[in-house]
């Protein structure tokens, strides 16, 4: 009888684990086509709550852009420095007004796209961070961008 109980417990644990995996990976929310700058804006967030953006966002997806008081080149340089110390983050693309990085989650290696846009007419950095898969991110994208904002503030940009 104890083996039956242990076996049933294993099945329940496996079912819970499988449910968690599926909830994080279905449906997909982002694709490479939703990245970059189009008509002076980063892409809007999908309906899922695992994205934040500082441009053209509804209340649940909005986040303030990062302001700076140095030159755009110095702000971009400082951002690139900060990104080198963000855990599991890799810079994918950089131009004079745009930076795209990816951040991977520690355990399951889920990928989040993190974008920064430096408009030429303002001393701000528009920001966007979105999970590629799943629905919920438990606020990780928002937290990551707020930590980057604080790191840049500490560098007096």
In this predicted model, what pLDDT tens digit does every residue of 108-147 receive, in sequence order? 889 999 999 999 999 999 999 999 988 777 889 999 999 9
pTM for this predicted structure: 0.79
Provide CB contacts within 8 A for 95, sequence distance 6+: none
The CB density around residue 82, as the number of other CB atoms within 10 Å, is 19
Spatial contact of 76 and 95, defined as CB atoms under 8 Å apart: no
Q: Which residues pair with 126 in a beta bridge?
A: 117
Segment 49-81, tens digit of pLDDT: 999 999 999 999 999 999 999 999 999 999 999
Please report the sign of the dihedral spanned by the C-alpha atoms of residue 44, residue 49, residue 53, residue 57: positive
Phi, psi of 151 (to 5 degrees): -65, -40
**Cβ contact 65:127 at 8 Å:** yes
Question: Mapped to the 3 state alphabet, what secondary structure does 93-112 carry?
Answer: EECCCEEEEEEECCCCCCEE
Q: How far is residue 81's CA from residue 84's CA, in Å, rounded to a whole number?
A: 5
* Residue 59 structure tokens: 């209340």
Please report which confidence band the pLDDT of residue 95 belongs to, taking 50, 70 and 90 as the band edges: very high
Vertex 17: Cα angle to 11 and 18 (nearest 5): 85
Ranges 17-26, 101-110, 147-156, most confident? 147-156
Asked whether the beta carbons of 135 and 48 are under 8 A apart, the reply is yes
Q: CA geometry: angle at 150 spanning 145 and 154, to 5°?
A: 145
The 3-state DSSP class for residue 81 equals helix
């Amino acid at each position: 009888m104890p083996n039956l109980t242990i076996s049933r417990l294993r099945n329940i644990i496996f079912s819970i684990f499988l449910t968690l995996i599926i909830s994080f990976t279905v449906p997909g929310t982002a694709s490479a086509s939703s990245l970059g700058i189009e008509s002076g804006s980063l892409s809007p967030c999908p309906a899922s709550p695992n994205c934040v953006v500082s441009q053209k966002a509804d209340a649940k997806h909005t986040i303030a852009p990062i302001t700076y008081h140095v030159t755009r080149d110095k702000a971009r340089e400082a951002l690139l420095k900060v990104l080198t110390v963000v855990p599991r983050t890799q810079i994918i693309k950089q131009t004079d007004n745009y930076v795209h990085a990816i951040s991977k989650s520690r355990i399951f290696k889920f990928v989040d796209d993190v974008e920064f846009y430096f408009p030429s007419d303002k001393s701000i950095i528009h920001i966007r961070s979105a999970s590629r898969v799943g629905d919920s991110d438990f606020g990780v994208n928002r937290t990551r961008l707020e930590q980057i904002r604080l790191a840049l503030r500490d560098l007096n940009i």
